[in-house]
Amino acid sequence: MERTCYNAELSKENVGQNVSLVGWVSKKRDLGAFKFIDLRDRSGIVQLFIPEGLEIPDVRNEYVIGVKGTVRAKEVANKNLKTGEIEVVVSSLEVFSKAKTTPLIIADDTDALEDVRLKYRYLDLRRPIMQSYLKKRAKIVKAAHEYFDENGFIEVETPCLILSTPEGARDYIVPSRVNKGSFYALPQSPQLFKQLLMIGGMERYYQIARCFRDEDLRQDRQPEFTQIDLEMSFLDQDQILTIMEGYLKKIFKEVVNEDIVTPLRRLDYSIAVDKYGSDKPDTRFELYLNEVTSILNKADFEAYKSANTIKALVIPGKASETSRKVIDNLTMEAKKYGLGGLGVLKYLNGTLEGSIAKFLNEEIVKELVNALSLKDNDLVLIGAGMHDKVCFALGALRNRYANELGLIKPNTYDLLWVVNFPLFEKKDDGSYAALHHPFTRPTPETQEYLFTDPSKVLSAAYDIVINGYEAGGGSLRIYNEDQQKQVFNILGFTEEDIKNKFGYFVNALDYGTPPHGGIAFGLERLSMILCGTDNIRDVIAFPKNLRAVCPMSNAPQRVDEAQLDDLGIMLKE
């Protein structure tokens, strides 16, 4: 049977036309003399009318069928259906394949648990909302090809079997059969290769790149993911961000019909952390972290006297309903971020109550009430300790209460750049790690500190933040060999480490390296935001669960001993 059109293409303009349609039975209704079938294909649903006396095969939900018939107008339109003004009067019906009763409801609203949805993903993908997610994802990719092609970028593929290099997460490693005992790594990103393309004179590169990171999973992470990856030569930071804003403007308009205003705001990392408690702040609501160190340092409480930073977060209208159980839960959340505990105060009837209130004299109470502009029934959450730990802990609680209090207006978008990150972060043992990666260029104003005080060095890095998600990030890159070696030294790499892990890249810097920089957008993150879901697995056709397992195929699994023997590998028990 040759299909004449998709279901959702039919309208009143087609009344009287003969059509051939195919798809899945979404619903069947038997009203005695008359029968109705809702036929679903990827475009949507159309109602079929089976006239009295027409003999058709038995059909049930999710049978795959083809029909021929004539389009006619309905007497009463269904406003909830795109094709609700018409129906197709069937003249013949053919069953292509039958279906068992499905383990989940094939509809936008399903009661199936996520494990069931992932096990029967091929059924879950029939749900119209899931198909809409994948269509939006495809539009984002299509727009990338159009926009970057028009702006002089060249699409280049980089290898998936590469040398293992330290990039922040664990590598997935791949054993070599030909070179027993040696391993490839799957790329965490195409970072070194795209920089080598700049040294190779490509000037503007992009790629829809598959990336792999062996890290603990959460709602917005997967072990394998896709980046819209870019690198550019001879452009400064302002020029790079302007080009990227053009792409963002295009996808917001084409995917969700939203006009975003450019240029986007730029927020310093230090302000983002200090005010919002996050390096990816959601600024759609006004719950701010308040500096109270100078006030609470005077309290008769040892943890506050010696604290490097003390900050307070005021939650309006929550004091009276916050139970001991809720406080314990909040404290556990704060401890995940390295805080020893959480101070909780309630402002009720002009008085501060709580376990730490006894350490606050009248003067301190008065200062605190004024500094925080407290109102009756306000809840005050206090974090004390090292600056970043305090800020990030309270920032997590800030986001939690924003959702609980309904402070975020639905279907709104908040885009901004976070800039001027530290180049390094100090670990507990006093050594340094790269906050982004070892190839990020220091800002001109702070590069002198590379040789005196690395903690003061800022990076020419930039993250695009949308609705509190880091949707992409990049930086200007180091193109001077001496500067690159100094960064490696600060990170504790020996000459042997540099030679083994980065030798080919460092050597390339000797042969005329242009100033360059780049960025990578997380395709799944962008898709998730534009689809309005908070689960990254919704925008991936066949994702892994939080244990990095595919419930549908049961990957990963053990392989045959013969395969291990070919690779020269023996498993430890």
Question: What tens digit of pLDDT does each residue of 95-150 get?
Answer: 999 999 999 999 999 989 999 999 999 999 999 999 999 999 999 999 999 999 99
Quick check: is 546 in a domain? no
Give the mean model confidence (pLDDT) for residues 510-539: 96
pLDDT of 481 above 90: no
> How many Cβ atoms sit within 10 Å of the Cβ of residue 247?
22
Question: According to the model, what pLDDT value does residue 426 have?
Answer: 86
The type of residue at 243 is I
User: Where does the pLDDT of residue 40 fall: very low under 50, low under 70, confident under 90, or very high at 90 and above?
Assistant: very high
**Residue-wise burial string across 115-136, b where 16 or more C-beta atoms lie within 10 A, e elsewhere:** ebbbbbbebbbbbbebbebbeb
pLDDT of 449 above 70: yes
CA end-to-end distance (rounded Å), the chain: 57
pTM of the model: 0.93
Quick check: is 481 in a domain? yes
Residues 343 and 387 in one domain: yes
Question: According to the model, what pLDDT value does residue 374 have?
Answer: 96
Residues 450 and 528 in one domain: yes
Residues 191 and 312 in one domain: no
Question: CB-based burial of residue 71 (10 Å sphere; 0-12 exposed, 13-18 middle, 19+ buried)?
Answer: buried
Residues in the chain: 573
Instruction: Please state the three-class secondary structure of 233-284 as a single string.
Output: ECCCHHHHHHHHHHHHHHHHHHHHCCCCCCCCEEEEHHHHHHHHCCCCCCCC
Q: What would the pLDDT profile of 10-30 be if each residue is shown by its tens digit?
A: 999 999 999 999 999 999 998
- Provide the percentage of residues in the chain whose pLDDT is more than 70: 99
Question: According to the model, what pLDDT value does residue 554 have?
Answer: 96
Give the mean model confidence (pLDDT) for residues 361-389: 95
Question: According to the model, what pLDDT value does residue 267 have?
Answer: 98
Quick check: is 91 in a domain? yes
Nearest Cα to Cα of residue 118 among 100, 108, 104, 135: 104
Distance, CA of 297 to CA of 401 (rounded, Å)? 27
Q: Among 72, 97, 122, give the residue marking a domain's end.
A: 97
Question: According to the model, what pLDDT value does residue 398 have?
Answer: 97
**Residue-wise burial string across 351-368, b where 16 or more C-beta atoms lie within 10 A, e elsewhere:** ebebebeebbeeebbebb
**Residue-wise burial string across 166-183, b where 16 or more C-beta atoms lie within 10 A, e elsewhere:** bbebebbeebeeeeeeee
pLDDT of 498 above 90: no
HSE-up (13 A, CA, CB side) for residue 230: 29
Residues 459 and 513 in one domain: yes
Residues 171 and 85 in one domain: no
Nearest Cα to Cα of residue 60 among 87, 34, 98: 98
Minimum mean pLDDT range among 64-68, 117-121, 302-306, 344-348? 302-306
Residues 293 and 397 in one domain: yes
Planar angle of CA 554, 558, 564, nearest 5 degrees? 145
Q: Which residues pair with 184 in a beta bridge?
A: 174
Residue-averaged pLDDT of the chain? 94
Quick check: is 459 in a domain? yes
Residues 36 and 146 in one domain: no
Strands 224-233 and 432-434: unpaired
User: Do residues 284 and 408 lie in contact, with contact meaning Cβ atoms separated by under 8 Å?
Assistant: yes
pLDDT of 223 above 80: yes
Quick check: is 568 in a domain? no
Give the CATH number, domain containing residue 41.
2.40.50.140
User: Do residues 409 and 284 lie in contact, with contact meaning Cβ atoms separated by under 8 Å?
Assistant: yes
Question: According to the model, what pLDDT value does residue 430 have?
Answer: 83
- The string of DSSP codes covering 311-351 is EEEEETT-TTT--HHHHHHHHHHHHTTT-S--EEEEEETTE
Q: What would the pLDDT profile of 274-312 be if each residue is shown by its tens digit?
A: 999 999 999 999 999 999 999 999 998 989 998 999 999
Q: What is the dihedral of CA 558, 564, 566, 568, to 10 degrees?
A: 160
Quick check: is 563 in a domain? no
Residues 71 and 15 in one domain: yes
pLDDT of 219 above 80: no
pLDDT of 428 above 90: no
Give the CATH number, domain containing residue 461.
3.30.930.10
pLDDT of 167 above 70: no
Angle between helices 523-531 and 128-150 (to 10 degrees): 130
Quick one: the chain helix, strand, coil %, rounded to 5?
30, 25, 40
Residues 264 and 365 in one domain: no
Residues 307 and 188 in one domain: no
pLDDT of 424 above 80: yes
Question: According to the model, what pLDDT value does residue 517 have?
Answer: 98
Residues 397 and 419 in one domain: no
Helices (H), 111-224: 114-119, 121-124, 128-150, 191-199
Quick check: is 409 in a domain? no
User: Do residues 472 and 211 lie in contact, with contact meaning Cβ atoms separated by under 8 Å?
Assistant: no
- The string of DSSP codes covering 499-521 is HHHHHHHHHHGGG-PPPEEEEEE
Cβ neighbours for 215, distance < 8 A, ≥ 6 positions apart = 169, 170, 221, 223
Residues 374 and 295 in one domain: yes
- Which tops the pLDDT comparison, 167 or 155? 155
Provide the domain count of the chain: 3
Question: According to the model, what pLDDT value does residue 1 have?
Answer: 75
User: Do residues 247 and 143 lie in contact, with contact meaning Cβ atoms separated by under 8 Å?
Assistant: yes
Question: According to the model, what pLDDT value does residue 135 have?
Answer: 98
Cβ neighbours for 272, distance < 8 A, ≥ 6 positions apart = 278, 279, 280, 281, 418
Nearest Cα to Cα of residue 478 among 459, 462, 463: 459
Quick check: is 239 in a domain? yes
DSSP tag of 288: -
Give the CATH number, domain containing residue 353.
3.30.1360.30
Q: What is the dihedral of CA 155, 159, 163, 165, to 10 degrees?
A: 40
Nearest Cα to Cα of residue 40 among 125, 114, 133: 125
Distance, CA of 560 to CA of 225 (rounded, Å)? 28
Residue span of the structural domain in which 384 resides:
285-404
